Amino acid sequence: MPSLRAVLESREKAALVRVQELRAEFERIRAALAEAEEVLNHRVIGLEQYLEALAEQDESVEVEAH
């Protein structure tokens, strides 16, 4: 039968491994989130530019109509 110390050390090692795995997963998720946020920012800027261009186009059509 293993000693209490060996059992506790084994549990500590298992917990340490789990913490390391979760930290690695967290870093992968953080990187994916940063990438997704960058894509979102590009999409928002693109949509804003598109809407501004449409508004300018509408303004020039109204000026030409008068």
d(CA 8, CA 34): 39
In sequence order, the 6+-apart residues with CB closer than 8 A to the CB of 10 are 2
d(CA 11, CA 4): 11
Q: For position 65, what pLDDT does the model report? A: 67
Does the model's pTM come out above 0.85?
no
Q: For position 1, what pLDDT does the model report? A: 85
Q: For position 58, what pLDDT does the model report? A: 82
Tokens of 15: 């917990």
Q: For position 61, what pLDDT does the model report? A: 72
Q: For position 23, what pLDDT does the model report? A: 98
Q: For position 66, what pLDDT does the model report? A: 63
> Which residues, given as ranges, of the chain have pLDDT below 50?
none
